[in-house]
């Protein structure tokens, strides 16, 4: 297809475009393989201290440019279904196939421009389109085509339709290798003009973006892998092995906004656990079961102070008519999961991504916890905080079994079919083991070891987790502290507010496989649409570096290359605003110099005077 024909395709209506431009799977679809963001300027550590940006007016314009962006990503210009084999590695002549959903925006695309491809992850692709604005903010400047592809078994891309989750036999094709093969096959047929492709992805999508660059380097020229916990998912040794755990990171975020918050949360959970234990003993006695030890009998003090399960049910606004002692495990995980969602989505503005949340939800949750704790009712404070991500309307009851589903992933699988798919992947692919210990974190102790995971997966799917298999199957074992072999052009970005960051790459692997740290960033904040009013300065700087790296890898000027290679970053510093109790005077939480030193002390691996370390560290 000529450029003139492509231009016609971009101008035609959706119906006509479907006939003209998508008559075959190799037509003019421009690919934008999920960008995996990884930023590093050089092999030296760069510490940059900047103030939070002042409020600026946001110009909402129809056209996207480097200087102005719309408040939300534009709607897709086209939707298409691309046919892929159920099993890419089946050579049978009659192998079955199905279609994956693909969304695109091609109005900025030029013949010399790249393709930005988003590697869809564990959910409907529409949700990721609406929450991944970075490629749209770059589109006009790069003259890029944008494509988002949906992951098999998620959203509407179901190999066996409504029966896709009926049996392990149907689910066995839900593997990472199959998913990235879907994207590679699509790009091979879509990119008829041999454009350079930058694949972007966040979280699991970031893992996919990195693997796509590694396994299909001729199809995907560069990758941005944001918040991608590859070492943790593939059980690889990294420099971050001795850093904090997932739930310790959640606790640390709470402590950053309130020194008293974690203590009140611990106190509340202890009171809750005591109440469930006391109720269990009462149930045993009423059933005629004698206690076998003194520790199993309630003391006079315990009897006098224990909150009843009915009081707990009312405080947490649960829909259930009653709470049973046997429901402690699910109830605890339900409450803990609320903090997981708030920590991952601890963004500087209100969002509706994993849940409908206010700006800086951890700060808001801790305000509620502190209010309850200081009034003598920490359980009520915790209950109010837990309701934040779950309650769509004030006063509505909360069904803890619909809002939280227990699964192989202790950080939560979501609900509905997407939860079924992710549950299976945690057994077959990821094998991520996360637990709370009640000591370093503010949550009750809940063991979850590889043995627990094995028992769960074998019983449910007859699948035995093999923690090192993924690295061998996909060659990810090359990504270790010794370097990345021949792999290049990958950005790994991590926000220190994101509880997944300890499981990611926090230092460069090579000069072109780089790590970018965002102290004020939550889960793949850098991939979200830039917000000129609320974005912390560090994520603004990270996006600038990501853009410079992508330009260099796509073929930029010598000046731009030098700007990156020497580690220089030009960010206009703004005046420091006085802090009031950790909050800036404009009402925003700010983690500035004080957070820099806390983070450096906590990690003990990133030293501001050590220029040999391997990440760019924005503060």
pLDDT tens-digit profile of 274-297?
Answer: 999 999 988 877 766 544 444 445
Mean pLDDT, range 492-511, rounded to an integer: 94
Partners of 47 in beta bridges: 617
56 or 230: which leads in pLDDT: 230
Q: How confident is the model at residue 474 (pLDDT cuts 50, 70, 90)?
A: confident
- What pLDDT sits at residue 9? 43
Tell me what percent of the residues of the chain surpass a pLDDT of 70: 72
- What pLDDT sits at residue 289? 52
Mean pLDDT, range 182-189, rounded to an integer: 98
Mean pLDDT, range 497-514, rounded to an integer: 93
87's tokens:
């099993």
274: number of Cβ within 10 Å: 15
Residue 329 included in any domain: yes
232 or 189: which leads in pLDDT: 189
Q: What's the predicted TM-score (pTM) here?
A: 0.79
Q: How confident is the model at residue 470 (pLDDT cuts 50, 70, 90)?
A: confident
Specify the residue for token string 């699948």: 463
- What pLDDT sits at residue 565? 40
pLDDT at 581 over 80: no
Residue 379 included in any domain: yes
The enclosing domain of 277 has a CATH number of 1.20.120.980
Q: How confident is the model at residue 319 (pLDDT cuts 50, 70, 90)?
A: very high
Q: Mean pLDDT in the chain? A: 79
Contact 175, 470 (CB under 8 A): no
**Which residue range(s) make up the domain with 299?**
247-461
551 or 69: which leads in pLDDT: 551
- Active site members: 203, 498, 523
- Angle (deg, nearest 10), helices 378-390 and 328-344: 60
Residue 298 included in any domain: yes
Q: How confident is the model at residue 18 (pLDDT cuts 50, 70, 90)?
A: very low
38: number of Cβ within 10 Å: 33
- Estimate to the nearest angstrom the gap between the alpha carbon of 229 and the chain centroid: 9
- What pLDDT sits at residue 71? 53
Residue 428 included in any domain: yes
Considering its fold, how many domains does the chain have in total? 1
pLDDT at 246 over 60: yes
576 or 161: which leads in pLDDT: 161
pLDDT at 22 over 80: no
Question: Computed from CA positions of residues 587, 50, 342, 367, in that sequence, does the dihedral angle turn out positive or negative?
Answer: negative
Residue 402 included in any domain: yes
Helix H or strand E segment including 117: strand 115-119
130's tokens:
């609406």
Mean pLDDT, range 161-165, rounded to an integer: 97
Contact 135, 144 (CB under 8 A): yes
Mean pLDDT, range 453-471, rounded to an integer: 92
pLDDT at 437 over 60: yes
197-202 and 115-119: which strand pairing?
Answer: parallel
Residue 223 included in any domain: no
Tell me what percent of the residues of the chain surpass a pLDDT of 90: 64
Residue 275 included in any domain: yes
Residue 283 included in any domain: yes
261's tokens:
């918050």
51 or 285: which leads in pLDDT: 285
DSSP secondary structure code for residue 589 in this structure: B
DSSP 364-426: HHHHHHHHHHHTT-HHHHHHHHHHHHH-SSTT--B-HHHH----S-TT---SHHHHHHHHHHI
389: number of Cβ within 10 Å: 22
């Amino acid at each position: 297809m000529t450029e003139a024909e492509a231009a016609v395709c971009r101008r035609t209506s959706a119906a006509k475009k479907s006939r003209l431009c998508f008559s075959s799977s190799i037509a003019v679809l421009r690919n934008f393989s999920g960008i995996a963001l990884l930023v590093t300027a050089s092999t030296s550590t760069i510490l940059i201290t900047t103030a939070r940006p002042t409020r600026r007016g946001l110009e909402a314009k129809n056209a996207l440019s480097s200087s102005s962006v719309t408040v939300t990503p534009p709607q897709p210009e086209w939707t298409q279904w691309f046919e892929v084999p159920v099993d890419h590695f089946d050579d049978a002549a009659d192998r079955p196939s199905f279609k994956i959903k693909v969304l695109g925006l091609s109005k900025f695309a030029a013949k010399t421009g790249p393709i930005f491809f988003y590697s869809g992850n564990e959910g409907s692709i529409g949700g990721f389109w609406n929450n991944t604005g970075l490629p749209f903010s770059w589109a006009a400047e790069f003259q890029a085509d944008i494509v988002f592809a949906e992951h098999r078994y998620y959203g509407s891309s179901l190999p066996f339709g409504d029966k896709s989750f009926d049996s392990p036999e149907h689910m066995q094709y839900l593997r990472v290798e199959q998913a990235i093969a879907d994207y590679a096959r699509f790009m091979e047929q879509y990119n008829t003009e041999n454009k350079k492709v930058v694949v972007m992805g966040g979280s699991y999508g970031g893992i996919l973006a990195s693997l796509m660059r590694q396994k299909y380097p001729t199809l995907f020229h560069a990758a941005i892998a944001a918040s991608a916990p590859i070492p943790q998912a593939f059980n690889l040794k990294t420099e971050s092995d001795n850093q904090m755990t997932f739930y310790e990171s959640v606790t640390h975020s709470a402590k950053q906004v309130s020194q008293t918050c974690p203590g009140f949360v611990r106190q509340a959970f202890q009171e809750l656990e005591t109440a469930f234990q006391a109720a269990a003993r009462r149930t045993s006695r009423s059933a005629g079961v004698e206690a076998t030890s003194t520790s199993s009998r309630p003391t006079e003090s315990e009897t006098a102070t224990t909150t009843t399960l009915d009081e707990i049910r009312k405080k947490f606004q649960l829909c259930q008519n009653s709470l049973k002692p046997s429901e402690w495990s699910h109830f605890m995980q339900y409450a803990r999961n609320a903090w997981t969602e708030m920590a991952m989505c601890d963004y500087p503005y209100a969002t509706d991504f994993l849940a409908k949340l206010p700006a800086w939800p951890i700060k808001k949750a801790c305000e509620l916890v502190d209010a309850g704790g200081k009034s003598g009712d920490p359980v009520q404070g915790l209950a109010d905080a837990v309701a934040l991500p779950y309650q769509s309307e004030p006063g509505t009851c909360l069904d803890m079994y619909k809002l939280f589903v227990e699964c192989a992933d202790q950080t939560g699988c979501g609900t509905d079919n997407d939860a079924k798919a992710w549950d299976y992947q945690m057994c077959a692919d990821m094998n991520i083991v996360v637990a709370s210990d009640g000591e370093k974190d503010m949550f009750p102790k809940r063991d979850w070891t590889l043995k627990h995971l094995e028992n769960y997966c074998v019983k449910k799917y007859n699948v035995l987790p093999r923690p090192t298999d993924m690295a061998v199957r996909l060659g990810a074992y090359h990504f270790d502290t010794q370097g990345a072999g021949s792999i290049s052009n990958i950005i790994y970005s991590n926000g220190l507010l994101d509880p997944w960051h300890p499981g990611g790459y926090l230092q460069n692997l090579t000069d072109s496989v780089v790590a970018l740290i965002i102290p004020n960033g939550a889960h793949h904040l850098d991939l979200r649409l830039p917000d000129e009013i609320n974005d912390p300065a560090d994520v603004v700087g990270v996006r600038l570096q990501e853009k410079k790296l992508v330009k260099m890898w796509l073929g930029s000027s010598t000046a731009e290359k030098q700007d990156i290679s020497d580690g220089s970053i030009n960010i206009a510093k703004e005046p420091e605003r006085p802090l009031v109790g950790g909050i800036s005077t404009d009402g925003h939480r700010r983690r500035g110099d004080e957070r820099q030193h806390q983070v450096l002390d906590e990690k003990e691996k990133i030293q501001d005077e050590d220029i040999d370390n391997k990440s760019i560290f924005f503060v």
